[in-house]
Structure 1
Amino acid sequence: MTELTDRYLFAATRSLPAAQREELSRDLAERIADTIDARVDSGASTPETAEHDALVELGHPAVLAASYSDRPLMLIGPRYFLVWKRLLIFLESFVPATVAAATALGLVLSGGGWEIVGTVVTTGLTVAVHLAFWVTLVFALIERYDTGAVGSADKLLGWTPDQLPQLPEVRRPHRRSDLIASLVWLAIAAGLLVWQQFGVLWIGGERSAVPLLAPELWSFWLPYLFVLIALEAAFAVWIYRSDWNWANALVNVALSAAFAIPVIWLFVEGMLLSPEFLAAIDPYLDADAERVLSVLFIGGVAAICAWDSIDGIIKAVRGGGRGTLDFPGNRSPRRAEG
């Protein structure tokens, strides 16, 4: 088994739960070996090109994995699913944000106030929904009426074995970058908690000594947040050393809840922001703007913490992060250590 086959197995199994990964890897490895032998014996390929030709014959690893794992790509149909998915993700990544930004600019230039926040959010969501609907409809029509002239998914994607991802040869390369990013953001968060105490408003071109958060929070809740930041930093180091599992995922959920619940509660009770800050911005906000900003703040905190929790659970389900997958031929040091 060569590195090219290893890369194919890695690409085919990396999105599967750990329980299915080993069996599928073994079956695929046997099928690839049989296909290589058959091509050499029949003279269809030379020994030097047989492996590459066999992988081309098997097709895109994601399509093959779907057929093996009882997860058919049937939203559009296996023929066009990956093309539809790639195009939709590409368009959704920038079109709604671009339209929302253009809308915001137009409203600001026309003299709009805080009410533009709700309009911009609604516009972005509407564009995202319409984009998903119409792209899906177009592919559904292609799926229904195409007679074969368009070609297979491999042809549409332009897939070849040369596009297979590289094997994770170095242990924890992604976890090191994750650790650095986590520690940097936690340090920034701690710095902002201190910096906000000295004023976040500029009046007449000069910063005013109006804190963002209520000074009374220094009696308990702000030190609590500093302790939570320290625990998050320690947890990030622990994840770097041990990788994701169910126990770590549950700890991650607990840490997220320990941040979200108090912050949202303090905000709802009117104890999070300082009275001086609220008094300074009150003339610029009407009731609707305050309501919209409150919903955005609560929803944003809840969404960020929920996403962080779900991300940890997904990594635990997959048996860890990238670079720690157990599949035949994986040369990662972690497998060797087992």
Structure 2
Amino acid sequence: MTTLTDRYVWAAARTLPEAQRTEFSRDLSERIADTVDARVDSGASTPETAEYDALVELGDPAVLTASYSDRPLVLIGPRYFLTWKRLLIFLESFVPATATAVSALGLVIAGGGWEVIGSAIGVGISVALQLAFWVTLVFAVIERTAAATGTEAHLGWTPDRLPQLPDVRRPHRRSDLIASLSFLALAVVFLVWQHFGIVWLGGERQPIPVLDPALWSFWLPYLLVLLVLEAAFAVWIYRSDWNWTNALVNVLLNVAFAVPVIWLFVGGMLLSPEFVAAVDPHLDTDADRALSVLFVAIVVGLCAWDAIDGLVKAARGGGRGTLDFPGNRSPRHTIR
């Protein structure tokens, strides 16, 4: 079996419950091998292109899996449903959040108060709904136009779009490690850089630290050590994968960061008096409160998300399997 076939089988089997994957993968591998042999014997393909042509004939592995597990592809139609779904999920993953953040920033600059939060959330929801509607409408038009004219839109699947096989020993791969280490490095740079002043007043940079210099007596070194521990933990996860012990350590690290940061902020000890004095004239009371709530929400949200993400990965056995729950078991079928 070549790498291309391996990638196809993995892409098709990865969304199935664990109990069905072995049998499904074996049957699919045999079907691909038979198709390759048949194409070579009939002269439909050369030995060099038979595998690629066989996978093109089988089509999108996600569609094959859907037919195997009795999951109908509806709404747009089986021809473009999965393309529509992938594009919509991709766009919804960041466009509404970006619109919400930009809207909140604009309202705060304009002098908005507590109503900023509700208005920004409303903008995000509206953008999400509009995005879903217009993407769906475009694909519906493509579906019906292609059917009416008897032509295919250029949205077809080819084996070139197959995902790469995961690293079984390190399923979270280098990209996660690099992203984590890069973020932590930027956080360390910020903690040091902010001490020398990054505030701009009247078009000129002022030597005003963002965080209270008094924190260098304990809390800023504490945060620097915590960031180094986070980096070491990221390397450990890369080498050992997720389990319940590692997930618990991840929770403790997030708590160790969030609790003191929020306590210092709420107690008025996090930001330097000079920074507060420079910023306060540009904010009214309501905007100041809204930004305070937003800061606490961001810290709690990010730490909670990271902690829950680790627990979910531990429950999945390091991401190599899927969670089993009622309704996630499909009847077995023979692949034809």
What is the match of residue 123 of structure 1? 123
Shift of 1:229: 0.7
- Trace 1:74-223 onto structure 2 (pairs within 5 A): 78-89=78-89, 91-92=91-92, 112-113=110-111, 122-136=122-136, 149=147, 157-167=155-165, 175-223=173-221
The corresponding residue for 2:324 is none
Match of 2:271 among 264, 270, 273: 273
Partner of 1:243: 241
Distance 2:16 2:316 in 1: 6
CA-CA distance at 1:5 after TM superposition:
1.0
Letter in 1 for 2:10: F
Map of 1:30 onto structure 2: 30
Distance change (3 Å), C-alpha of 1:114 and 1:106: closer
Distance 1:106 1:86 in 2: 31
RMSD of the TM alignment (CA)? 4.3
Q: Report what 2:9 is aligned to.
A: 9
Unaligned runs of 5+ in 2: 322-336
Larger mean CA deviation between 308-317 and 54-63 belongs to 308-317
> How big is the shift at 1:298?
2.2
Show CA shifts across 1:94-114 (max 9, x none). 865887799799989xx9345
CA drift at 1:215:
3.8
Q: TM-score, normalised by structure 1?
A: 0.72
- Structure 2 counterpart of 1:55: 55
Distance apart, 1:7 and its partner CA: 1.8
CA contact (8 A) 2:66 2:72 kept: yes
Give the fraction of aligned pairs with identical amino acids, expressed as a percent: 70
- In the TM superposition, residue 263 of structure 1 has moved relative to its aligned partner by 2.2
Distance in 2 (CA, whole Å) between partners of 1:253 and 1:151 is: 57
C-alpha distance in structure 2 between counterparts of 1:257 and 1:307, whole Å? 12
Structure 2: how far apart are the matches of 1:198 and 1:147?
61
Q: CA separation of 1:24/1:252 partners in 2, compared to 1, >3 Å: closer, same or farther?
A: farther
- Structure 1 letter corresponding to 2:208: V
Secondary structure of 1:273's partner? coil
Question: Which string of whole-angstrom CA distances, capped at 9 and with x for unpartnered residues, describes residues 72-102 of structure 1?
Answer: 5556565443122233246547865887799
Does the C-alpha gap of structure 1 residues 57 and 174 become closer, same or farther in structure 2, counting only changes over 3 Å?
same
Distance 1:276 1:9 in 2: 61
**TM superposition shift of 1:234:** 0.8
TM-score, reference length from structure 2? 0.72
Q: Which amino acid aligns with 1:255?
A: L
Per-residue CA deviation, residues 127-164 of structure 1 (Å, 9 max, x unaligned), is 22222244346667988xx6992799x97631122332
| Residues 1:20 and 1:59: Cα distance change in structure 2 (over 3 Å) | same
